[in-house]
Structure 1
């Protein structure tokens, strides 16, 4: 785990990568950049590394342990942000935790996202590149169609799976979403 702790924070974020495991981060180091940025807004965050990055249920358990860690540090509202496989992990974990207020899935796979209909009252943001050759944008479209409650979908022309082609747009969109949803 990598912890970005904001003194006195009441809200924060858990970040996860994809099936590659480790501390993967899409969109040109999005997670460390946003982790530092959110500190200036009084929000803590935690980057989680899976024990087994190919096992959905274990990965969900790892994320829920990360949420518990943040709650033990005084947080009352948590956002979950995941890329690719991590998007499915975060949707599943978000549906299970009462501390989660919003989920952000970046270029998510659709497999393992059946719990998306159970997210409300939590909100959902999906961001997907229209040129994603690994997981097509139809994955996010399918998730969006099954989701209920507050949801938004941003499709980025020319962006591939890692979203590097428009990293600043992803940074701004995710930052603004998190600030809005966590300050409520």
Structure 2
């Protein structure tokens, strides 16, 4: 189990360090009072607090507060190691659960899409997973996601990870699932940033309100 330390104050997202047995995991928390549901966001192999689609993650963090949802942005210890990244995300889910979250959504971009699928299949707190331009490698657990739902978003002009990655994941997924393909959008989804924001926000609100 992770131990938590906290710094800062005010309206900005609060930095925390999850002290795990495998090393510290840095996170940023947008905390809604008395929230019963939360969202965990992480990027790809670029590491850091990476966000696709022109700042999608900070925008979601701020927007979801007004709907009574907390949001946690997570920085992997090693953004190229799938197994270790999954452990980081599970530590983040436990952190949210310890703060009263009964339902958690996972959102990951690129490499992070595979991370979230794997982590989601392992955690009883997770109710839905969103993969943005997700890689297909490491997504074998997608068939184990139900009863958790799955949303996949991919740009048809992605030259880093082709849309066939999300098509493959969607085909192998069971239960409630949806796939949105955006013509003209590349790997970071900047060209359709607004539509991506609206699609992800609406999906999260629908799936987390229970």
Give the drift of 1:137.
0.1
Scaled by the length of structure 1, the TM-score of the pair is 1.00
In the alignment, which residue of structure 2 is the partner of 1:134? 160
In the alignment, which residue of structure 2 is the partner of 1:45? 71
In the alignment, which residue of structure 1 is the partner of 2:109? 83
- Greater percentage in strand: 2
Q: Please tell me whether residue 19 in structure 1 is matched to residue 45 in structure 2.
A: yes
Q: Please tell me whether residue 108 in structure 1 is matched to residue 134 in structure 2.
A: yes
Aligned length: 184
In the alignment, which residue of structure 1 is the partner of 2:209? 183
**Take 1:63 and 1:102, find their aligned partners in 2: how far apart are those partners?**
14
In the alignment, which residue of structure 2 is the partner of 1:34? 60
Name the SS for the 1:54 alignment partner. Answer: coil
Greater RCO, 1 or 2 (C-alpha within 8 Å, sep 6+): 1
In the alignment, which residue of structure 1 is the partner of 2:191? 165
Give the drift of 1:61.
0.2
**Take 1:29 and 1:45, find their aligned partners in 2: how far apart are those partners?**
14
In the alignment, which residue of structure 2 is the partner of 1:95? 121
Give the drift of 1:77.
0.1
Give the drift of 1:81.
0.1
**Take 2:130 and 2:181, find their aligned partners in 1: how far apart are those partners?**
13
In the alignment, which residue of structure 1 is the partner of 2:85? 59
**Take 2:126 and 2:96, find their aligned partners in 1: how far apart are those partners?**
11
Give the drift of 1:67.
0.2
Structure 1 stretches (4+) deviating beyond 4 angstroms?
none
Give the drift of 1:37.
0.1
Scaled by the length of structure 2, the TM-score of the pair is 0.87
Larger radius of gyration, structure 1 or 2? Answer: 2
**Take 1:96 and 1:86, find their aligned partners in 2: how far apart are those partners?**
15
* Match for residue 145 of structure 1 among 154, 171, 196: 171
**Take 1:21 and 1:102, find their aligned partners in 2: how far apart are those partners?**
23
Name the SS for the 1:134 alignment partner. Answer: coil
Name the SS for the 2:53 alignment partner. Answer: helix
After superposition, the CA RMSD in angstroms is: 0.3
| Long gaps (5+) in structure 1 | none
